[in-house]
Amino acid sequence: MKFAKIPMATINRLSIYMRTLQDLLEEEMDVISSERLAKQCGVNPAQIRKDLAYFGEFGVRGVGYRVSDLINQIKEILGLNRNWNLAMVGLGNLGSAMIRHGNFIKHGYIFTSAFDVDPQKVGKRLPNGLIINHVDELEEIVKEREAHIGIIATPASAAQSVANQLVLGGINGILNFAPVQIQVPDCCHVENVDFTIKLDCIAYHLSSGG
Amino acid sequence: MKFAKIPMATINRLSIYMRTLQDLLEEEMDVISSERLAKQCGVNPAQIRKDLAYFGEFGVRGVGYRVSDLINQIKEILGLNRNWNLAMVGLGNLGSAMIRHGNFIKHGYIFTSAFDVDPQKVGKRLPNGLIINHVDELEEIVKEREAHIGIIATPASAAQSVANQLVLGGINGILNFAPVQIQVPDCCHVENVDFTIKLDCIAYHLSSGG
DNA sequence: CCCATAATGTGAATAATATCACATTGTTAA
DNA sequence: TTAACAATGTGATATTATTCACATTATGGG
Ligand SMILES: NC(=O)c1ccc[n+]([C@@H]2O[C@H](COP(=O)([O-])OP(=O)(O)OC[C@H]3O[C@@H](n4cnc5c(N)ncnc54)[C@H](O)[C@@H]3O)[C@@H](O)[C@H]2O)c1
Ligand SMILES: NC(=O)c1ccc[n+]([C@@H]2O[C@H](COP(=O)([O-])OP(=O)(O)OC[C@H]3O[C@@H](n4cnc5c(N)ncnc54)[C@H](O)[C@@H]3O)[C@@H](O)[C@H]2O)c1
């Protein structure tokens, strides 16, 4: 099963399973069935088993999954048994909110650099101790601090240019909050987050009696 | 075509098309082909035509789509030719960042109430003029201010209880930022936003040579 | 030791989604 | 007027994802 092509949706769900399993671990639950986990994650039990089957056999028939083992297996699959260094670009409302947020570090995501163009912001120290650098220094600093993932939290108009600089800095993964489609070489993986799309989706459902 | 079941994915894409079309309008482009629009949105041209075909015929054969017309059509489809009132619950990092963000109002999303439990925050005035109310008053105030959509930006532990209160307040659409699956009656539509999942997804791609 | 039980892992069936390919139809210019 | 063109709208096809259904296999009690 190891080298089938893995559906994107599976990867997303693994992340959800892991989060739920971590909650379960805190509640001292040490074994769980796909049925109960599925209910808690809002998916079909067979889905969970299928998703896991892409990567191996992690359960015990007649019993279920050992919670802490499964967490470790999923971490291994997703590549989360290590830390990832993040470069934040754009320290406005959203960028600042994320840097202040404590949960990323818990999951092994560490902000090691931060960039803006605003001269008012460049040179300031953030709550986590980081100093904001000018975006012109991005390529250099990103290499120096071994950033793995870039986060674009600038206005849409700057997003493509920031993406270009991140790529030059050797970054192969980008989380983009700007509401535009950015163009990058194939070696670079982009994930987009756009809240407004989600709101539009809710509006649609409210409008058409869904 | 009007009453086929519409794929969720189609609704999401319509929102993206609209955003791109609005950019094109600013660049004074008044007609666009599905091919060019598709490139800009990163999808297949036939996809765009199929998505639109669920709702009618909006193009001109041999020519393409009139940009401003198509924007209006999509707004009509998604229910965006009106305003939607938002209730923000949890004025921490993320909730505050969203309220400060100017783009929501441009798209017809208006914050009409804001709630927290923290006595330090309750009573404070936000940059947009709103006063933060105590979450105990949620049900009442949400009804009074005719909120349509609730946004949950509290810690995960409070999310379900907030969701319950929103539903009691008559709200049928929820945007949930807390990393838990909330349970609501069928009449209520929930969309989840979880950045950490997106980061995990990038980590996976970086790890497995994608 | 063996049987009843419970829950996994998975092939087959189904459902959902995306793409192709082309007939159709407005447009423009000779 | 009409022919050449361009891009839509859509049935057919291909691909991808989800769910079903059950054979398989650990476990624990009698
Ligand atoms: N805040 C939200 O709730 C929200 C919601 C949806 C989408 N977004 C999107 O997220 C992005 C950020 O939103 P925000 O509210 O934080 O915006 P913001 O205006 O508060 O912050 C943008 C920051 O980027 C900086 N910047 C501009 N150009 C830059 C460049 N070339 N290099 C580096 N930094 C640059 C600005 O100086 C500013 O500090 C925007 O694209 C926005 O559309 C935000
Ligand atoms: N900020 C981020 O970058 C980020 C990223 C990913 C996920 N999230 C999620 O978004 C949510 C909010 O994140 P944050 O960083 O803004 O957290 P935060 O701790 O800064 O803010 C949470 C706010 O909710 C309030 N609150 C707590 N219980 C409440 C209740 N019952 N009713 C109303 N208000 C209540 C708190 O007083 C606080 O003001 C969390 O669930 C978090 O996991 C945030």
Pocket lining: A65 vs ligand 1, CB cutoff 6 Å: no
Does residue A180 have a pLDDT over 50?
yes
CB atoms within 10 A of CB B178: 23
Which of the four pLDDT bands, split at 50, 70 and 90, describes residue B210? Answer: low
Question: Each residue of B30-81: pLDDT tens digit?
Answer: 999 999 999 999 999 999 999 999 999 999 999 999 999 999 999 999 999 9
Does residue A25 have a pLDDT over 60?
yes
| Contact assignment for A107 to B201 by CB distance below 8 Å | no
**Cβ of residue A33 lies below 7 Å from strand D:** no
CB atoms within 10 A of CB B132: 22
Q: What is the pLDDT of residue B1?
A: 40
Gap from A191 CA to chain B (nearest CA, Å): 6
**Nearest alpha-carbon partner for A173 in B39, B208, B40, B43:** B208
Pocket lining: B126 vs ligand 2, CB cutoff 6 Å: no
Pocket lining: A132 vs ligand 2, CB cutoff 6 Å: no
CA B100 – CA A119 distance, rounded (Å): 21
| Contact assignment for B174 to A100 by CB distance below 8 Å | no
Pocket lining: A116 vs ligand 1, CB cutoff 6 Å: yes
Pocket lining: A154 vs ligand 1, CB cutoff 6 Å: yes
The mean pLDDT of A187-207, rounded to a whole number, is: 95
Q: Which residue is nearest to nucleotide D16 (CA to C1')?
A: A7
Centre of ligand 2 from the C-alpha of residue B154, in Å: 3
Does residue A4 have a pLDDT over 80?
no
The mean pLDDT of A14-42, rounded to a whole number, is: 95
Does residue A40 have a pLDDT over 70?
yes
Centre of ligand 1 from the C-alpha of residue A87, in Å: 15
The share of chain B scoring above pLDDT 90, in percent, equals 94
Centre of ligand 1 from the C-alpha of residue A184, in Å: 20
Question: Each residue of B168-186: pLDDT tens digit?
Answer: 999 999 999 999 999 999 8
Q: What is the pLDDT of residue B2?
A: 43
The nucleotide minimizing the C1' distance to residue B10's CA is: C17
Number of A to B CB contacts under 8 A, please give it: 167
Which residues belong to CATH 1.10.10.10 in chain B?
Answer: 8-78
| CATH number assigned to the domain covering A84-197 | 3.40.50.720
Q: Tell me the CA–C1' distance in angstroms for A193 and D20.
A: 34
Which residues belong to CATH 3.40.50.720 in chain A?
Answer: 84-197
Q: What is the pLDDT of residue A210?
A: 53
CA B184 – CA B190 distance, rounded (Å): 8
Is domain A8-78 classified as CATH 1.10.10.10?
yes
Question: Each residue of A55-107: pLDDT tens digit?
Answer: 999 999 999 999 999 999 999 999 999 999 999 999 999 999 999 999 999 99
Cross-chain CB nearest to A196 (options B103, B180, B200): B103
Token pair 């808690």 in the structure block, residue: A40
Tell me which nucleotides of strand C come within 7 A of a protein CB: 5-11, 16-21, 24-27
**Nearest alpha-carbon partner for A66 in A38, A108, A107, A24:** A24
Ligand nearest to the CA of B94: 2
Q: What is the pLDDT of residue B209?
A: 63
Kindly report the average pLDDT of chain A as a whole number: 95
Which of the four pLDDT bands, split at 50, 70 and 90, describes residue A160? Answer: very high
If one residue of B93, B166, B175, B191 were mutated to test the ligand 2 pocket, choosing by the most ligand atoms within 8 A of its CB, it would be: B93
Q: What is the pLDDT of residue A191?
A: 95
Q: What is the pLDDT of residue A208?
A: 82
| Chain B residues with beta carbon closer than 8 angstroms to that of A196 | 15, 19, 103-104, 107, 109
pTM of the model: 0.95
Question: Each residue of A115-155: pLDDT tens digit?
Answer: 999 999 999 999 999 999 999 999 999 999 999 999 999 99
